Amino acid sequence: MPGTYIRLNYFPPIFAALLVVFSSTLNAESKWLELCDDCHGPNGNSLHDSIPTIAALSKNYFVESMNSFKRGERVTRIHKRPGAMDTDMTMVVSMLSDYEIIELAKWYSSQIRDSKAQSFDSEKAKTGRRLHMKYCEICHEDSGRSIEDDIGILPGQQKEYLRLSLQDIASGQRISSKKMKKTLNRMERKYGSDAFDHLLHYYASLIK
């Protein structure tokens, strides 16, 4: 069911143990980690199709994303979690100080990315690769892996999350780089809306 989150019913002891080990290096952000990981998955590696993996994002991109939620420039969607209050990122960021956001960015940017294999169609992935090289590689270098320019990571990112992000950016509902919006609109005019789908298959195909 879209928008519904299946809660992890237990907090694996190994994570609890790791938290204790790392607590000396964790400061303001530590009290939030359980809440974040409840949606974003263990150490920020998502297990839910429409929730992004946030492990290993660039620190600046992380902070900028959190601030754009604060400014209301990014679309957010409520995720229902059984036994917990319905929450979205707007509510989450409203509870965090600037200092905590920076500490959380440091923590998640240093986590290892553990992308799960997702299904893909090889023909669509091939077309997606051509589209990526033509329209996206100029900014999303190394097939979208590079975080050098403080942008998100595309290979292995959750497919449904990517699909929603592309739609939101193309429609202007998510305020983004003007050039990127123009690029998406140009690509859509030329190749139709299937182009997005092909790109998603390509990014999924990069994780085996």
Residue 4: strand pairing partners: 80
Q: Report the candidate in 115, 162, 118, 172 with the shortest Cα–Cα distance to residue 140.
A: 162
Can you tell me the distance from the alpha carbon of 199 to that of 9, in angstroms, rounded to the nearest whole number? 34
Cα separation, 169 vs 44, in Å, equals 23
Do residues 155 and 206 make contact, with C-beta atoms less than 8 angstroms apart? Answer: yes
Q: Is 19 in the site for ligand HEC (CB under 6 A)?
A: no
Q: Provide CB contacts within 8 A for 16, sequence distance 6+.
A: none
According to the binding rule CB under 6 A, does residue 55 interact with ligand HEC? Answer: no
32 or 120: CB nearest ligand HEC: 32
* Residues in region 169-188 near ligand HEC by CB under 6 A: 176-177, 179-180, 183-184, 187
56 binds ligand HEC (CB under 6 A): no
Among 45, 109, 127, 135, interactor with ligand HEC by CB under 6 A:
135
The answer for residues whose C-beta is within 8 angstroms of residue 45's C-beta and 6 or more apart is 53, 55, 111, 113, 114, 115, 116
Q: Is 54 in the site for ligand HEC (CB under 6 A)?
A: yes
* CB-closest chain residue to ligand HEC: 152
Give, as one character, the DSSP assignment of residue 12: -
The helix (run of H) or strand (run of E) holding residue 70 is: helix 59-70
State in angstroms the smallest separation of the CB of 139 from ligand HEC. 3
**Least spacing, CB of residue 138 vs ligand HEC, in Å:** 5
Does residue 102 belong to the site contacting ligand HEC (CB under 6 A)? no
| Using rule CB under 6 A, residue 202 touches ligand HEC | no
Interaction site with ligand HEC (CB under 6 A)? 32, 35-36, 38-40, 51-52, 54, 62, 65-66, 76-77, 79, 87-89, 92, 104, 135-136, 138-140, 151-152, 162, 165-166, 176-177, 179-180, 183-184, 187, 199
